[in-house]
Chain A
Amino acid sequence: MSCRRKFIDKVMIFVPWLCVVVTVIPLISILGYLIYKGSQTLNVAFITQLPKPVGESGGGMANSIMGTGIVVGLAGIFGIPIGVLAGVYLAEFGKHTKLGWIVRFLADVLQGVPSIVIGIVAYTVVVVPMGNFSAYAGAVALAMMLIPFLTRTTEEAILTVPEDIKEAGLALGQPYWRIILGIVLRSARGPILTGIMLAIARIAGETAPLLFTALNNRFWHRGLNGPISTLTVQIYSYAIAPFNDWNAQAWSGALVLILLVTLLNILVRTVARSRYIERS
């Protein structure tokens, strides 16, 4: 009997282990292939120069790298406060209310809307009234993707904050807004920042919502109220182009994008680590 039990024990340990390997293999192979292909044309010029005219070799995607930073940054400025505060509302005030239910439901629905549709919406509400493609329009589209995700993540994070430390704040004669800012958000800041990171990483990799909002630009952008290049759209247009060197540069662009997102992730995690939060 004990022999059989040991065998089952081994199998039960082996199965999840196998699952890990199956999950990690595609990830590693994608990364490996990306590094292999991307590093071939990745050089200083690639991250410092503008694209060269058709027919000339060399050049880079400096404008796209900067553009992605600008558009994603703007989306964060638009979206993060709204998303976090909506999450605060859902967790603290909208628990049993009808409005809370509606907001929660709509956030879930919005998360499932295809990104190309979000792009069309941003085109209709920003590009058409303003009369031109712009970084703003791209940022609005990306913010629309970021907000529902962040709302729900923040709500979940805040719900894990124990009730008794809020009571402690109340009993010290503190107003509720101060308890939310000083205690609740502080306690939940780890998961909230992780949510922000995931959301940023996700929107940084979006192409479809930018195709007809930020459009693209082969030069440096002229102000935020005009077309701007982004890495994803640039990768897309280079990847489908009939030139070999463009295709190769698309690989490098993808590698740069992944590196940037990873870098940001590590950075925020290091900064966000708080020694005052109890770790479980």
Chain B
Amino acid sequence: MSIAAVERSVDRSVVKPLIAPKIGLEQTSVITTKDLSVYYRELEAIRSVSMTITSKAITALIGPSGCGKSTFLRTLNRMNDTVLGFSINGEVVVDGERIYSSNVDTIALRKKIGMVFQRPNPFPMSIIDNITWALTFHGIRRRDEREAIGVESLKRAGLWDEVCGRLKDPVFALSGGQQQRLCIARAIALQPTILLMDEPTSALDPIATRVVEDLMISLKEDYTVVLVSHNMEQAARVSDQTAFFLMGELVEYSATESMFSNPKNKTTEDYITGRFG
């Protein structure tokens, strides 16, 4: 089926088309860390963090700059492996598998754990190729099949209506907010079960931020979302669980509602009420 054929067959009244029927996102992913410490050479960026991230929910990691929240996030899909002098202590377990043991296939791991970055980072290709490029390697040999998945992902990311007529256009014709949603579409096209988002709205204007936040909330029905945010209002708006990091340590981790209304820790309270940070 060509793109045009897919376009024709789309029923516009379907609000939320699923990309998942084949895989069935019944399966859920749970991330657990046990006494996780992360070092960059001698510098201890994360100190002995133990937490369990629940599935099909948004877990926000908040804290001031340099507190280790991004490092923690990037440790979850081994993106720090290429950083010079990186080493860890303790365990990260995803779906019962220790992801830092030596026999782990990082390629399969990263296919399961999607990631969205701080700044939109689309590839210098056409809009549709941005999504289909990665699929080729993951065994989807037929072009029309890849493009169908691309279309579904664009719909899921709420970008379809804006780009449906110009899938072959260069990606730089899109605005920053659209590019970021394209990056989200690219990530979910691989049908991951976990989505890591590293301050995904920090480079976007308020309207685009709103769109991406709505998208996050709709994504949590299917995915385990871990969100790093600088913006406490955002964390309060979208997340179910919030973890507060400070100086590499996990200070407080609880349901978002109770953290923001009734923080147990004095430092957390100072931070979320804006007394520092």
Contacts and interface: CB of A to CB of B under 8 A. Distances in A.
Interface residues of A, number: 22
A168 B122 CA distance: 8
Of the listed residues A170, A173, A274, the one surrounded by the most CB atoms of chain B closer than 10 A to its CB is A173
Contacts of B124: 165, 183, 186-187, 274, 276-278
B107 A174 contact: yes
Contact of A167 (B107, B117, B170, B190): B117
B125 A172 contact: no
Interface of A: 162, 164-165, 167-175, 178, 182-183, 186-187, 274-278
Interface of A is mostly: helix
A164 B117 contact: yes
A199 to B, nearest CB: 24
A277 B126 CA distance: 9
29 contacts: A162-B121, A165-B123, A165-B124, A167-B79, A167-B121, A168-B117, A168-B121, A168-B122, A168-B123, A169-B123, A169-B134, A170-B82, A170-B110, A171-B187, A172-B110, A172-B114, A172-B134, A172-B187, A173-B108, A173-B110, A174-B134, A178-B137, A182-B133, A183-B123, A183-B124, A186-B125, A276-B129, A276-B172, A278-B172
Given A172-B110, A278-B172, 5 more contacts: A165-B121, A168-B183, A169-B123, A276-B172, A277-B124
Contacts of A187: 123-124
Given A164-B117, A164-B119, A278-B124, A173 B107 contact: yes
B115 A171 contact: yes
A100 to B, nearest CB: 14
8 nearest A-B pairs in the assembled complex, by CB-CB distance: A173-B111, A171-B115, A173-B110, A172-B134, A164-B121, A168-B121, A278-B172, A276-B170
